[in-house]
Amino acid sequence: MSDTYRTVAGRATTAFEVRGSEFLGHVAPADTVAEAEAFVETVGTEYDDATHNVPAYRVPAGAASERTPGDGVMLREYSDDDGEPGGSAGKPALNVLEKREVRNVVAVVTRYYGGTNLGVGGLARAYSRAVTDALDEAGVIEERPHRRLVVRTGYDDSGTVRGVIESSGAGFDADYDERVRFELRLPTAEVESLVERLNDATSGRVEIDR
């Protein structure tokens, strides 16, 4: 269907050995380049003793992030060999994401060198397998394009606003400070309806960033 896309159901990590080298494949959903880069950084920090942490991701770029491929979404596709021989690591990892036709996803393959060179072909197979195994572990699902909204309101209207958001079924986080801030994620097709309901319920006093 043109209004859905394939992505991972959640985060996953898998591991295997090839001739003494240990490979760990990590995948996670990511809706933006910033989220993908944050995951890459998190893995790099957690496995900072590894020989290589090879990233690859396919995520929406810029303002087109909430459009489906059929609507002309621009995907940012990125990979890096992180010190492995050119073309032996990052590209094979990214190729798996492309062949599986998944997007809004980031992968990092961690390698602990085991003392035996695997050659370009051996490395390509290992990095491909690491991403494939991690995708299989995470599970690939059909997802609808989503948007993130930030809703701010005064305390007087906060109960009403929370009730409208809860009735929409959108997942959200609430922060009660000087004003109440709701950050929510909901299908793109439902955004306009929710915005209208929030404005009606508060006589336009609500602030919505989208």
**Tens digits of residue pLDDT in 129-166:** 999 999 999 999 988 877 889 999 999 999 999 999 99
CATH classification of 146-209, choosing from 3.30.9.40, 3.90.1150.10, 3.30.70.240, 2.60.40.10? 3.30.70.240
Instruction: Quote the pLDDT of residue 185.
Output: 84
Helices (DSSP H) in 32-182: which residue ranges? Answer: 33-46, 90-99, 119-138, 155-168
Average pLDDT (62-77) is: 59
Tokens 């003793």 belong to residue: 49
What are residue 23's DSSP bridge partners?
A: 16, 111
Tokens 């609808």 belong to residue: 144
Q: Are 107 and 93 a contacting pair, CB within 8 Å?
A: yes
Distance from C-alpha of 128 to C-alpha of 142, rounded to nearest angstrom: 22
Distance from C-alpha of 74 to C-alpha of 144, rounded to nearest angstrom: 16
Tokens coding 206: 């609500």
Average pLDDT (39-46) is: 98
Torsion of CA 76, 28, 139, 186, to 10 degrees: -80
CATH of domain 5-143: 3.30.230.30
Q: Where are the domain boundaries for CATH 3.30.230.30 in the chain?
A: 5-143
Tokens coding 98: 């492309």
Q: What is the pLDDT of residues 162-179, one digit of tens each?
A: 999 999 988 899 999 999
At 174, phi and psi to the nearest 5?
-115, 140
Q: Where are the domain boundaries for CATH 3.30.70.240 in the chain?
A: 146-209
Instruction: Quote the pLDDT of residue 157.
Output: 94
Tokens coding 51: 């020989």
